[in-house]
Structure 1
Amino acid sequence: MKISIEWLRQWVQVSEPVEQLAERLTMAGLEVEGISPAAAEFSGVVVAEIIACEQHPNADRLRVCQVATGDETLQIVCGAPNARAGLKAPLAKIGAVLPGDFKIKRSKLRGVESHGMLCSAKELGLSEDASGLMELPADAPVGQDLRAWLGLDDQIVEIDLTPNRSDCLSVRGVAREVGALLDRPVQDVAVPEVPAAIRDELPIRLEAPAGCPRYLGRIIRGVNVGAASPAWLVERLRRAGIRSLGPVVDVTNYVMLELGQPMHAFDLARIEGGIVVRMARPGETLELLNGQTVELNQETLVIADEVRPLALAGIMGGEESAVVAQTVDIFLESAFFCPTVVAGRARQYGLHTDASHRFERGVDPELPRLAMERATQLILDIVGGQPGPITEAVEPASLPQPAEILLRAKRIPQLLGIDLPAAEVEAILRRLGMQVEAVAEGWRVRPPSFRFDIAIEVDLIEELVRIWGYDRVPVRRPVQPTRMQPEPENLVARRRLRNLLVDRGYQEAITYSFVEPRLQALLDPDHKPLALANPISSDMSVMRTSLWPGLVAATLYNQNRQQSRVRLFEVGLRFRGELENLAQESVVGGIATGSRLPEQWGSDEVEVDFYDVKADVEALLALTGEASRFRFAPARHPALHPGQTARIWRDDRPVGWLGALHPQLTRTLGLKGRCFVFELLLDAVTTARTPQFTPLSRYPSIRRDLAVVVADDVSAAAVLQEVRAEVGALLRDAFVFDLYRGKGIPEGHKSLAIGLILQESSRTLTDEDVDEVIGRTVSRLGRELGAVLRE
């Protein structure tokens, strides 16, 4: 938003240097991107009038003009096609300096002396128009310095507004802000009600009141669209970055810049019947003012007559109903369009207009009538005409309802850390245009209609500190109690889980809790996910029932960027059940694919396998100090390989899964290589045994190895479980150190070699003690698992 300081000073007294004002605005949240002069630097240019214009005797394209400057008449040779007697234009006299340090000297063109130069707008740096002389209005004072007459010694402040502050997309809005910051009154523009001179009206029908709850229109007959826009109007538009397009359009643009209300003018002769505000119908098209023809969809709000669409509501008018040189009667529109209806529609059609920029952010719903009166007044002053009465169609129930907010006095220091006197709180709020009523707890506040971004108590507190001054908030060092927090010994801190997995080569990922329904169904079809009522996008429309969808998506993302070795883990929530009894369970999950170790010279590359990831999970379980209470049981999971899947149990409670992604699923998702995943309930791996001191045994340990033959479907875990159950307290460790199939082993069987470490804390074990334990163990294995001692 570009703001002329000269224009701003007509609304509010600003005596401070522009740089100081820019600093105050920036600190208040209206970031000033830059300050620039209103016009390029030039001097010695005056308003002049051509009193005679004759053909150059020696050149077809040149004219010899006699130009009055107020105190003398000068001969000027000019090649502009619009040079003519009676025209007022800028004259650079001898000694003048134009932009680019171009100095004007006495010259002779084709044998005729020229005592200066008549200028185009481009030569003065005021426009890109170089088609002819800059035409000044008939009332321009001859002989006056052009810079002074146009007020070009002005500065332009460009403000980068956040989307919530669309109330400042006008001079009026910025003036209100400056008035509040500097505690100065704002001089609002005087807009008297324009009486109707004729009774002509157009009927207005709101068929989509949710998108347009207020629409005002007015007929003005007998306008002279061929009249020129006054220089002050053209100049103010130019300084705001808008070019002049004709008096009627210039007025609607001016009112938008001044008050913040986008408007539109239709050629009344091209409207059939009345005005209908409705949604577009299938198959309708509209040629826009920029020449683009768009095919409308049913979600687009349009302004139509009884036959066809005339304009994209709040975005751009149509070419067929535009004001043209032949227009005599116009229909003026001023309306309120809901941001939700306009937002995104302009981009959908490849458009971005000043109107859509404002309407999709929000415009004051109480502004259309004031804007209509202001625009009518200016149109009558510039192009004449006879206005009809204002016709208004309104659906009050669909208009934004003013908020009433309770601001508690105690809440201000809680959030800001400062105590603002009650009188200052009330003064700031009233300077911002709010209605304030003191109550026992603090104040009851009603924001003005143009501040629809203020809805809750914290918004009001933000406004207080914004106007009071962020830079005045004292800097205090944070205070933290030095008392150490207890950390129960029977809990494993989450940071230990994270550190362990990082030490084992994993990287922590944080993925969205919202996932794609298709991916969720592939990875966890047994649980129906909770669908979001208003998702960010279609691929983030359900709540995850497992961490795997996010981790798989992250792995695929990395593989697509030439990362062949991926190891990721996440600690987060999964969501299961219906909305009424939704369970939020904390889990830790991981995924591994690619090589077992990073590429190196010391070993060949080996692909990660099931047992590598199982070892990582076992390391997590070992943090509890009760690894023997966990077991891995063969199981089936729809997303996992049927031969490489384990259900993880803690005692009799299932606490997680481990396995390889199903090969068919891997191909469907486009993953490269085998992928192994795990997921564990967090409470199962963070609840640990309370450490208890046990003195180290002074007596030696004894190792005995057993080789037993069991059926192929008997797992090593089952064998170790029976060994632990039988040996009891004497067992310090039991592990499998060899697996054999082949000669001497029956078909469908395998040989497992198990190492047992035995130790007694009160005496040295004898061979007889050990033999007795081993005998009992072999008997139990035979009885429970059908195992036989390998010969």
Structure 2
Amino acid sequence: MKFSEQWLREWVNPDLSTSVLGHQLTMAGLEVDAIEPVAPEHTGVVIGKILSAEKHPDADKLQVCLVDVGELSEQPLQIVCGAKNARPGLIVACAMIKAVLPGNFKIKKSKLRGVVSMGMLCSEKEIGLADNAEGIMELPLDAPIGTTINDYLQLNDVSIELGLTPNRGDCFSIAGIARETGVMTRNDVTPVSITEQTVTIDDTMDINVDAQEACPRYVGRIIKNVNIKAETPMWMQEKLRRCGNRSISPLVDITNFVMIELGQPMHAFDLDKIQGKINVRMAQQDEKLSLLDGQEISLNSDNLVIADDNQALALAGIMGGESSAVGDNTQHILLESAFFNPEKIIGKARAHGLHTDSSHRFERGVSPELQVQAIERATELILQIAGGEVGPIAEQRFAAHIPQAKAVFLRKEKILKVLGVEIDDKTVKDVLQRLEMDVVDCDDGWQVTAPAFRFDIEYDVDLIEEIGRIYGYDNLPFTLPHGSIEMSACPEDTINELKVKQLMVDLGYQEAICYSFVEPKAQNLITPDNPGIKLTNPISEELSVMRTSLWTGLIGALVYNQNRQQNRIRMFEVGSRFVPGADSASNSNEASTDANNASSKDGLLQEVMIAGIINGTAFPEQWGEKARAVDFFDLKADVEALLSLGGDLASYHFAAEQNPALHPGQSARIYKDNHPVGWMGTLHPNVAKAMDVKSTSILFELEFAAISGAKVPNFKIMSKFPAIRRDIAIIVDDETNSSAIINTIRQTAKTTLAQNKAAEQETGQNSSESESNVRVELFDVYVGDGVDAGKKSLAVSLSLQEQSRTLKDDEIDTLIQAVLSDLEQQHGAKLRD
């Protein structure tokens, strides 16, 4: 809500400076976002009258004007002007010699094509009253010659912009802000005088309200023979401008003026374009309506419309229609003022991509007692400015559907409990009564009924909030809260989110927090088989679907940083993805179904994920390491560090699989105990190009539940017997995964050692039942001379250790033979010569 301070002070004028007034409004809950002068600073601009305007002798587009500036000059000023609207008799804004215009533009005596010019005739743009102007400023004929523009237009004013919360719909008007200011400063409010207008004709409009619950009050009045060519007075234009509205035409300006002044949106129909009577009804499904802004919308059955007998004329509470709009030939109008149930208006404007001053107010609630006052006020202004003949007011009112304020019981003791200060009964009653609430004394408190314009008063805490803000937050004591601290459970078998995030930060990543809503085209690139759920009322088209992967937002954040010269980027995010479909949980491991995830009745799975992305160089710029770009294995090391948090890295493995968002041959799926839990790989070049990623990026995504479990540490006595190491080199196909080789060796070694123990027990020999220690490490990969094409050599170390004895050479040889045999059977491996 933007308003003029001068306009506010016409209603209530506290003895406060602008800055103090702004502070008090903020402390009362009406936060001031900005205080700005209504016009940039300038000097030396006065009101003048053009006495003559002759064509310049040497320039077709210039005129030589004689301008009377009153007593400021003994002779009329000769000023050369290029504006087309310069003409004799026009009252103008004249910048005299030594005047300084906005931007420190100084006016000097000059010659234009050989003709002396003693000043400049100004447009609204040149003195900072408009962004654009087609000619010089035209002032009313009664403007006093020689008076400065600053004094005449009272430009020593400021515009104050409030960031109102949705619950304070009553403050979207000068009247509402004045009421609050009067309460805060204990000043009397002088509202504008609204009188019942004299009816001069009998014409009325038949009004039929079918949607009585949505529109329990509708008021209309016919005004005939309106002068549509009349000009909006300068004082009204200026008040509208200072509130952020531009002047359009007298009738539109008047309805906007009343809306800002009283808070009641209004609309004027061209009476001659209405067929039959006015019908307030719900729209038919897919009914068409062309709006004032030129767009045609398709209505839904839950849209409330104002219609005649043939068609919809306006989208109720939001915007009028083009077919019944007031135009240059309008003579007779129907002026409407209505109360619409906020619940029937909320979200309807956004559903059609609209947002208007009317919808902004009706969604938050307009007083159901304002309609007739607004009609009378608008009628008075129309008669003053455009003339006309006034008909009687036609009204439809359905009391059963008009909101009735309920009495709220306020206990004295709760005020102390909530505010922490004891406020005497007299002060409590005074505050509530000044807020125009009806207060009735009870034994231990009060029964309080809020006025019609306060839709936000429903509970006793709402009343306590009112008492606190009017009493003054600065007057409330600073009291430290008291409470006991309980240690939360921290089970050893769980890895919490904080620990995961701390690890990522330690690895050099920065946390990103992205929207859960993403751009549909970007999401289709990442998960083409799962486009996600489209929002009914999106914030914008770029944020219109629920994300099915955290990658979409992370890639957008990466591009944002790249565009700002960030060349080394490492980011991660922990957040939810939203997977539609009842079978969406099929790709989740069994451990994922915990408190981190939730499924809705319609099959929507909300999964908590962790994702990361790296881009740029592997190391920060330095002299100790040569610069190189990040690669697949840089990220794989970080992912393995993440998987190792639970102490069970062996239960995870990576498998080369294809993902449409990842580069073929540089992507892997991550499994835990043979259940897929995530992906990692290089971003696909086509996706990178479409999303404007400038260099190679590698990324991963994991189900958070899959890494949140941990193995509880168990004490194990270290063996005092030596470990035996054997190295083997085998030849395998290029496509063979080294992790599969290692798993086979480890499994065979453990099985063989277990069989040896069982044999010893059968022969009566001593045998420890403790687990054997088997460690397998890949220490070399070779491709080249001596190895056939399509093959590779893997060198693996196998370390074996028992708790109770030293292993014998024949046991080791038997074990190695078993390992080689299994490797050949399962992977076609041959011992390298």
TM-score scaled by structure 1? 0.69
Distance 2:6 2:792 in 1: 94
1:4 and 1:674, CA in 2 relative to 1: closer, same or farther beyond 3 A? closer
Q: Give the Cα–Cα distance (whole angstroms) in 2 for the partners of residues 568 and 587 of structure 1.
A: 14
Alpha-carbon contact 2:273-2:323 (below 8 Å) kept: no
Counterpart contact for 2:748–2:818, Cα < 8 Å: no
Per the TM alignment, residue 177 of structure 1 is displaced from its structure 2 partner at its CA by 0.6
**CA deviation after TM superposition for structure 1 residue 627, in Å:** 3.5
Where 2:702 maps in the other structure, the secondary structure is strand
CA distance in 2, matches of 1:409, 1:676: 59
Distance 1:414 1:625, change over 3 A: farther
The alpha-carbon distance between structure 1 residues 354 and 725, as it changes in their structure 2 partners (threshold 3 A), is: same
In structure 1, which of residues 143, 160, 163 is the aligned counterpart of residue 162 of structure 2? Answer: 160
**Residue number in structure 2 paired with 1:428:** 431
Residue of structure 2 in register with 1:616 after alignment = 638
Q: What letter is aligned with 1:199?
A: D
1:716 to 2:742 alignment:
yes
What aligned pairs does 1:136-151 form with structure 2 within 5 A after superposition?
A: 136=142
Greater displacement, 749-758 / 450-459? 450-459
Paired residues for 1:112-151 under 5 Å: 134-136=140-142
Is contact 1:42-1:124 (8 Å) kept?
Answer: no
Shift of 1:36: 6.2
Deviation at 1:220, TM superposition (A): 3.6
Partners of 1:381 and 1:415 lie apart in 2 by 52
1:687 is the counterpart of 2:726: no
Distance in 2 between the 1:373 and 1:500 partners?
68
Instruction: Choose the corresponding residue for 2:172, options 169, 189, 193.
Output: 169
Q: Write out per-residue CA displacement over residues 507-556 of structure 1, whole angstroms, 9 at most, x where no aligned residue.
A: 43333344567766776689896776655456655655554454455556
Q: Which residue of 2 aligns with 1:201?
A: 204
In structure 1, stretches of 5+ residues that fail to align are 47-52, 54-60, 70-74, 91-96, 101-118
Aligned position for 2:590: none
| Counterpart amino acid of residue 736 in structure 1 | L
The whole-number CA distance in structure 2 between the counterparts of 1:171 and 1:604 is 63
Question: For residue 31 of structure 1, what is the aligned residue in structure 2?
Answer: 32
1: distance between equivalents of 2:666 and 2:775?
28
Contact 1:710/1:751 (<8 A) preserved: yes
Equivalent of 1:656, from 677, 690, 709?
677
Aligned to 1:588: 610
Q: Write the distance in 1 (CA, Å) between the matches of 2:229 and 2:531.
A: 68
Residues 524-673 of structure 1: pairs in structure 2 closer than 5 A: 535-536=538-539, 540=543, 543-544=546-547, 547-551=550-554, 554=557, 567-574=570-577, 578-580=599-601, 585-592=607-614, 596-597=618-619, 602-603=625-626, 605=628, 608-609=631-632, 611-628=633-650, 630-632=651-653, 634=655, 639=660, 645-650=668-673, 654=675, 656-660=677-681, 666=687, 673=696
Q: Secondary structure at the match of 2:392?
A: coil
Q: Is the 8 A contact 1:778 1:789 kept in 2?
A: no
**RMSD, matched Cα:** 6.3
**How far apart in 1 are the matches of 2:557 and 2:390?**
64
Counterpart CA distance in 2 for 1:330 and 1:434 is 38
Contact 1:83 1:133 (C-alpha < 8 Å) held by counterparts: no
Please point out which of 809, 813, 817 is paired with 1:778.
Answer: 817
Which residue is equivalent to 1:467? Answer: 470
- For residues 747 and 718 of structure 1, do their structure 2 counterparts lie closer, same or farther at Cα, with a shift above 3 Å needed? farther
Report the counterpart of residue 104 of structure 2 in structure 1: none
1:733 is matched by which residue type in structure 2? R
Aligned 8 A contact 2:614 2:630 in 1: no
- Number of equivalences: 736
Instruction: Give the secondary-structure state (helix, strand or coil) at the position aligned to 1:690.
Output: coil
Closer/same/farther in 2, CA of residues 437 and 504 from structure 1, 3 Å limit? same
Distance (Å, rounded) in 2 between the aligned partners of 1:503 and 1:388: 77
Match of 1:786, SS state, is helix
Maintained 8 Å contact 1:316/1:355 = no
1:163 and 1:361 in contact (8 A); partners too: no
The CA deviation string for residues 437-481 of structure 1, in whole angstroms up to 9 with x for no partner, is 789998776544433456677655544433232333444567787
**Matches of 1:666 and 1:77, distance apart in 2:** 71
Aligned with 1:499: secondary structure? helix
Q: Give the match's secondary structure for 1:623.
A: helix
Any idea what SS the aligned residue of 1:181 has? helix
Judged with a 3 Å threshold, the aligned counterparts in structure 2 of structure 1 residues 778 and 528 are, in CA distance, closer, same or farther, namely: farther
- For structure 2, the residue ranges without an aligned partner over 5 or more in a row are 52-63, 79-85, 93-97, 102-120, 579-583, 586-598, 755-770
**Structure 1 residues 232-269: Cα deviation after superposition (integer angstroms, max 9, x where no partner):** 87887787687988876675455334322243445645
Residues 572 and 586 of structure 1 are in contact (CA less than 8 Å); yes or no, is this contact kept in structure 2? Answer: yes
Amino acid across the alignment from 1:579: S
Kept after mapping to 2: 8 A contact 1:704/1:756:
yes
Q: Please tell me the residue identity of whatever aligns with 2:178.
A: A
CA shift for structure 1 position 761? 6.4
Aligned-pair CA distance for 1:359: 5.3
Structure 1 residue aligned with 2:728:
706
Match of 1:389, SS state, is strand
1:372 aligns with 2:410: no
Relative to 1, partners in 2 of residues 1:635 and 1:417: Cα closer, same or farther, differing over 3 Å?
A: farther
AA aligned to 1:735 is E
Question: Displacement of 1:230 after TM fit?
Answer: 9.0
Counterpart of 1:26, as a letter, is: T
**Aligned mates of 2:401, 2:456 — CA distance in 1:** 17
Query: How much has 1:202 moved relative to structure 2?
Result: 1.7
CA distance in 2, matches of 1:20, 1:674: 53
CA separation of 1:740/1:189 partners in 2, compared to 1, >3 Å: closer, same or farther? closer
Which residue does the alignment assign to 1:110?
none
One-letter identity of the residue aligned with 2:32: E
Corresponding position of 2:61: none
CA apart distance, 1:150: 9.2
What amino acid sits opposite 1:704 in the alignment? R
Amino acid at match of 1:618: E
Q: 1:204 to 1:626 in 2, by over 3 A?
A: same
Alpha-carbon distance, 1:735 to partner? 0.7
Alignment partner, residue 733 of structure 1: 775
- CA contact under 8 A between 1:571 and 1:588: conserved in structure 2? yes
8 Å CA contact 1:659, 1:677 repeated in 2: yes
Once residues 34 and 416 of structure 1 are traced to their aligned partners in structure 2, the CA distance between those partners, rounded to angstroms, is 31
CA contact (8 A) 1:648 1:656 kept: yes
2:162 partner amino acid: D
The answer as to whether partners of 1:25 and 1:32 remain within 8 angstroms in 2 is: no
C-alpha displacement at 1:411, in angstroms? 7.1
Q: 1:617 to 1:458 in 2, by over 3 A?
A: farther
1:175 is paired with a residue of what secondary structure? helix
Q: 1:217 Cα shift?
A: 1.3
Q: Secondary structure at the match of 1:390?
A: strand
Query: Percent of counterpart pairs with the same letter?
Result: 38
Aligned to 1:105: none
Give the corresponding residue for 2:182. Answer: 179
Find the aligned partners of 2:387 and 2:39 in 1 and give their Cα distance: 30
Q: Give yes or no for contact 1:595–1:608 (8 Å, CA) kept in 2.
A: no
User: 2 CA distance for matches of 1:668 and 1:534?
Assistant: 30
Give 1:304 deviation, angstroms.
6.2
Map Cα deviations across residues 570-626 of structure 1 (whole Å, 9 max, x no partner): 3334555551376655443334566655676744736513x5444333323333334
Q: Return closer, same or farther for 1:389/1:682 CA change in 2, 3 Å cut-off.
A: same
Shift of 1:200: 1.8
